[in-house]
Amino acid sequence: MATRMELGDQPTATRHHGGERTVNGWQEQTCVALGSGILFSYPELATLAGVQGVVVYALASALPLFVFSSLGPIIRRKCPEGFVLTEWTRQRYGVIAALYLSFMTLVTLFLYMVAELSAIGQVVNALTGLDGLPVIIVECIITTIYTSLGGFKISFLTDNIQGAMVIGLIVIATIAIGVETKIDTSLIEPSGLTKPTLLGWQLLYILPVAILTNDFFLSSFWLRTFASKTDRDLWIGISLAAGALLVIITLVGCTGLVAAWAGIWPGSDPENPVPGSIAFFALLEQLPAWVVGIVLVMSVTLSTAAFDSLQSAMVSSASNDLFRNRLNVWWIRGAVVLVIIPIVVIAIQAPSILQIFLISDLVSAATIPVLVVGLADACYWWRGFEVVVGGLGGILTVFIFGTIYYGTALEGAQLILLQNGLYADDWAAFGAFVAAPFGGLLWGFGALAVRLAVQFVIAKVKGQRFDALDRPAYFPGEAGSPLEGEAEAELVHEPGVGKGAGKFV
């Protein structure tokens, strides 16, 4: 999300800069979503679910982008003054629901930052054998300095650098691996990676749900959605971005397969097997030193560009969503610097990058389904109360499922953090991603029933008409709106910040 201060008081220009720039922006943003963590998560999944997992992961990452071309125009028409999803949420569901979504967005950004720093630390350790902590600290200091001076403008600039690094890294690694790595065809059949697996079939559900809902939390996607000059430009930009993403993810994921078929993963030592998460880097160890050096430089550059975007997004999310751009941005930047400290502490523990992404996905899977119900005009009776109760209820449902599945409350709580990751012989992760969205919807409709019942009783006791199912006027200026004419003109609001707010109950 971009604040008025960071965009130089030009939100209108930012939203209407023309279709061609927006098309290019979508391709750049595709690369922004691809930090150095992709070098761990995609190859690791390939070692778990084989060819089936690579194909499913690639399609599940690329196709959900089209939700922005489908829902984006609807949200833009409903909230023309906004430029991110939280503005529509505030306008539709009220302040409390908007703050709840903002908090979940900040949690998602926190997890992404942990994943990015953890990934670059592991990259340095895997390629050089050195401790990655100094690189992590230097990266945090450098990105903090130049994002503080340049804001989102400098992040947009590094997006271009990041895109070049992604393409360059993929091209160099593909050529080098293709020339230097020798695949032992006798290992292909025994590996089982060409055959369908239980996990592979589970991923047909898990990954689309996880990635589709998590994309809603990426405010930079919404910035480009609102900035599109026309719906046609939006479709073109997303189509190009989805195609590029599909190719990149497939190539990166295939390195896990190549590592297995070259005998590099899991290696020849059964007592000390090579982790699937470093399959890409295990391949690079077979290559000339100059290739490894180039990949290391590109990986650090890629990580820095991704981290500065996440850092800027956290600053602007807090500024716009929590403080409505009324608090000096330097206080917020200082708070984000303090938040980076625990991020670094968690990152150096080197958790699974795939696990971090899954935790973030589980949070979004519980939150987004109950949120988008309000996009349907027929569901005008859906309120912010249902969104908040449903979102929290979805996470609680994961805990309940885990407790029943494992038989202990402790393991039920650990399922929220997906401690066991993804395993072919375990239904826990699949059950968690079923429990989160469907449990959230059940809690939401339960909250709706309770709210209507309470409001009905209150209306009868007070002798008033029961109006909880009346269509509310959410948009100032509409016929019947309580904010018309002079009342609307008196509203003071920041550029890019929507007027008025919907109802929580």
CATH number of the domain residue 175 falls in: 1.20.1730.10
Q: Nearest 5°: CA angle at 254, between 248 and 257?
A: 170
For residue 500, being part of any structural domain is answered with: no
Using alpha carbons, select from 312, 295, 163 the residue that is nearest to residue 240. Answer: 163
For residue 322, being part of any structural domain is answered with: yes
Using alpha carbons, select from 284, 279, 249 the residue that is nearest to residue 267. Answer: 279
Distance between CA atoms of residues 377 and 478, nearest Å: 15
- Show the tokens assigned to 445: 């409709």
**What pLDDT is stored for residue 473 in this prediction?**
63
Distance between CA atoms of residues 491 and 146, nearest Å: 35
**What pLDDT is stored for residue 474 in this prediction?**
52
For residue 119, being part of any structural domain is answered with: yes
**What pLDDT is stored for residue 500 in this prediction?**
60
**What pLDDT is stored for residue 402 in this prediction?**
95
Full 3-state SS string of 160-187: HHHHHHHHHHHHHHHHHHHHHCCCCHHH
> Domain span at residue 325?
19-489
Domain tally, the chain: 1
- Average pLDDT over the chain reads 83
Distance between CA atoms of residues 323 and 321, nearest Å: 6
Place of tokens 């059950």: 431
**What pLDDT is stored for residue 426 in this prediction?**
82
**What pLDDT is stored for residue 41 in this prediction?**
86
**What pLDDT is stored for residue 175 in this prediction?**
83
**What pLDDT is stored for residue 179 in this prediction?**
83
**What pLDDT is stored for residue 290 in this prediction?**
83
Block means of pLDDT (10 residues each) for the chain, length 505 residues? 33 37 51 68 91 94 91 85 83 93 92 91 88 94 88 70 75 81 90 91 93 86 80 89 90 92 86 85 83 85 86 88 86 94 89 82 95 92 96 97 94 89 80 97 97 95 90 51 38 45 81
For residue 13, being part of any structural domain is answered with: no
For residue 56, being part of any structural domain is answered with: yes
pTM score above 0.75: yes
Q: Which residues contact 130 (CB under 8 A, 6 or more apart)?
A: 124
For residue 3, being part of any structural domain is answered with: no
For residue 495, being part of any structural domain is answered with: no
265-294: b (≥16 Cβ within 10 Å) or e = bbeeeeeeebbbbbbbbbbbebbeeebbeb
For residue 214, being part of any structural domain is answered with: yes
